[in-house]
Copies of this chain bind each other. A is one copy, B any other.
Amino acid sequence: MSARPQETRLDLYPSRRGAKPCSIERQDPVVHSAHRQGAPLPPQQICDYERNGFLILEQLFDARELELLQEEAAKLRAASGQIDATLAVAEPGDSSLRSVFHVHEISPLLRRIAHDARLVDLAEYILGDRVYVHQSRLNYKPGLSGKEFYWHSDFETWHVEDGMPRMRALSVSISLVENTALNGPLMLIPGSHRRYLSCVGETPEEHFRQSLRKQEYGVPDPEALTAFADDGGITAATGPAGTVALFDCNTMHGSNGNITPYPRSNLFIVYNSVSNTVEAPFGPTEPRPEFLAERSDFEHVKAISGPIRSV
């Protein structure tokens, strides 16, 4: 750990500093565009996103596009042995594949999806700005033995470990298989995005090597989490393959393990506003590698319209 000049910066969202957890109010808008006219979503859905911190959309992509995406995910999974080992993360306790990162750089098809106007228009509207890809990954939750992802706010990690200053980013999750309530679907707590939970404990160096498998720092305290769930309930992003979940960077989410024989896999793309690019981390550790948090190429993505047929 080295002393950083940046530690005199204003930190709107301090975390992992004290011995006690605390909860502070969100300092940023949820929907950053003020005008509803010309929005890529009907007003009711914009209100839902603003209130709940997420939106579940079906049939954004057509059957052929979904098929291409599924084939590509299977191909990357089969070839994961050939992928740079740092990009392929295993399940805790065994060697089965959990996630492949930076997929928009590995795969032309996934890059095309990340540039797709249907997603980019939504992200630009909600974030009120041009956007770039902060992170992308394929998550494979194997059947029979898939482990849980514990509750977390992505922003807490992105702020402390990556140096993302403000809440002006969102995630898109596209399910590659049917997500039922029983195969460990993404669960979100409506309304949790409105408060920021400052977590206890310091971050060890190279925390990401462990945290991508099983997170132990930056985890919310049980009382605050229970209060969030008591207030807002828990919504599971269930639906057929192709269901898209769009969620705010500070929405508390997680997923249970999966003993059903049916794997659960998803493509995740994180868009960040080009006015909110990462700086030095707000925590004391070295920045995480670029495959987890883009640090050099902040060129905004140029939306590509029309159906994806091949790349």
- Chain A positions near chain B (C-beta within 8 angstroms): 143-144, 148, 150-151, 180-182, 184, 187, 222, 225-226, 229-230, 234, 236, 254-262
How many copies make up the complex? 2
Contact status A182-B234, CB under 8 Å: yes
CA distance A83 to B236 in the complex (A): 38
Residues of chain B within 8 A of A184, CB atoms compared: 256
Beyond A234-B182, A236-B181, whether A222 also contacts B256 by CB under 8 A is no
- Given A184-B256, A234-B260, A256-B258, 15 other A-B contacts at CB below 8 A? A143-B226, A144-B222, A144-B225, A148-B257, A150-B259, A151-B259, A182-B187, A182-B256, A187-B259, A225-B261, A229-B261, A230-B261, A256-B257, A256-B259, A256-B260
Residues of chain B within 8 A of A254, CB atoms compared: 259
Query: Which B-chain residue is minimally distant from A146 (CB atoms)?
Result: B256
A-B pairs with beta carbons under 8 Å apart, 9 shown: A144-B225, A148-B257, A181-B182, A222-B261, A226-B261, A229-B260, A254-B259, A256-B257, A257-B257
CA distance A187 to B184 in the complex (A): 13
Residues of chain B within 8 A of A236, CB atoms compared: 181-182
Shortest beta-carbon distance from A21 to chain B in Å: 14
Residues of chain B within 8 A of A143, CB atoms compared: 226
Residues of chain B within 8 A of A226, CB atoms compared: 143, 261
Shortest beta-carbon distance from A184 to chain B in Å: 7
CA distance A208 to B258 in the complex (A): 24
Residues of chain B within 8 A of A230, CB atoms compared: 261
Residues of chain B within 8 A of A181, CB atoms compared: 180-182, 236
Residues of chain B within 8 A of A180, CB atoms compared: 181
CA distance A182 to B229 in the complex (A): 13
Shortest beta-carbon distance from A202 to chain B in Å: 22
Which residue, A148, A226, A236, A261, has most C-beta atoms of chain B within 10 A? A261
